[in-house]
Amino acid sequence: MWNRREVLLRSAGLSALATLGLPRLALAQLNGNAAIVSGFPAGGMGDNVARPVAEKLRGHYATSLTVESRTGAGGRIAVEYVKRAAPDGLTILQIPSSPMVLYPHTYKKLNYDPLVDFTPVTSTVTYAFSFTAGPGLPAEIKTVADYVKWAKANPKQATYGVPAAGSALHFAGMMLQKAADIEMTSVAYRGGAPLLNDVMGGQVPVSFNVVGEVMPHIRSGKLRSLGVTSAQRSPFLPEVPTLVEQGYKDIAVQEWLGWFLPAKTPAATVQRLNTLVREALQAPDFIAALATYGLEPVHQSPEEFARRVKADYDRWGPIVRATGFTAED
């Protein structure tokens, strides 16, 4: 067995690991090559979480640990891949909440059951959405109430952009439309980057975005946030009121990024991975890095995370039914 000094010297992120203080666990590391499987492309938000955590777990959880992207179908390809993996702890799913708690209500058929086919390990981060205005919306509109008044007077111009049809951001828009009793037309993009380009260019007046994507542009004054969808104000945009504060008490929508293992993975393996992730999320350098992306670290025990998954699953059902939305492949 390596001593602590040898472990630190063999790891890539030396300065980060020096502050990590990973515990000595009684269970030996897994004998094999582990992979964190992400459903979204390299270089995105998932990478900003998975790769630093992988660096901190490498040499502690398994013989080796890599990050692997299996993209497509809004994350479903990665979910299905991990479902079929052996329950030995070596194949880890990192996925946003929507494929696990929203898609079961929007797709007529899924090739997985999120409540049966997986063992929840922990949430890692949570992130809110911004109801964002660009130069395509009159500058005097600064609140949701202002926007609702404008939308009622200009229904043909009341379009809003979302990074994907059927996403949680899309549902935030549909919830606002229903609650405010206004006509709004959604415009679905293939991801957050092209949407951001169009809202900044004025082609679409407002959009729902992940806070981290628009945060620099809001701070620079190029964009403005009319409200955030978290239950409490975002620590990254503390000056922006929530939609709840502005009278829309049911529009408290926040997504998480979570880790899962295949069903029937041994409980000791699940707990060991959970413990190591908790230690990684507590590293000051990692917390600071996450803040630059508008991400808040949130660790939960496997039992707590399982309850959160089930609660979010149950919450989305009636919301989806109220909109009548059905996803298309």
Structure tokens at 65: 């640990």
Angle at 159 between CA 157 and CA 160, to 5 degrees: 150
pLDDT for the residue numbered 219: 96
Q: How many CB atoms lie within 10 A of CB 280?
A: 24
Residue 179 Rama label (left phi>0; alpha psi -120 to 50; beta): alpha
pLDDT for the residue numbered 13: 37
Q: How many CB atoms lie within 10 A of CB 190?
A: 10
Q: Rounded to whole angstroms, how far apart are CA atoms 209 and 9?
A: 40
Phi, psi at 169, each rounded to 5°: -65, -40
CA 46 centroid distance within chain: 8
Alpha helices (runs of H) in 166-221, residue ranges in sequence order: 168-180, 192-201, 211-220
Q: What is the pLDDT along the chain (329 residues), one digit of tens a residue?
A: 343 333 333 333 333 333 344 444 446 789 999 999 998 888 888 999 999 999 999 989 998 999 999 988 999 999 999 999 999 999 999 999 999 999 999 999 999 999 999 999 999 999 999 999 999 999 999 999 999 999 999 999 999 999 999 999 999 999 999 999 999 999 999 888 899 999 999 999 999 999 999 999 999 999 999 999 999 999 999 999 999 999 999 999 999 999 999 999 999 999 999 999 999 999 999 999 999 999 999 999 999 999 999 999 999 999 999 999 999 87
Structure tokens at 284: 């000051």
Phi, psi at 13, each rounded to 5°: -90, 75
pLDDT for the residue numbered 21: 41
Q: Three-state SS for 143?
A: coil
CA 274 centroid distance within chain: 18
Q: Rounded to whole angstroms, how far apart are CA atoms 123 and 302?
A: 9
pLDDT for the residue numbered 27: 60
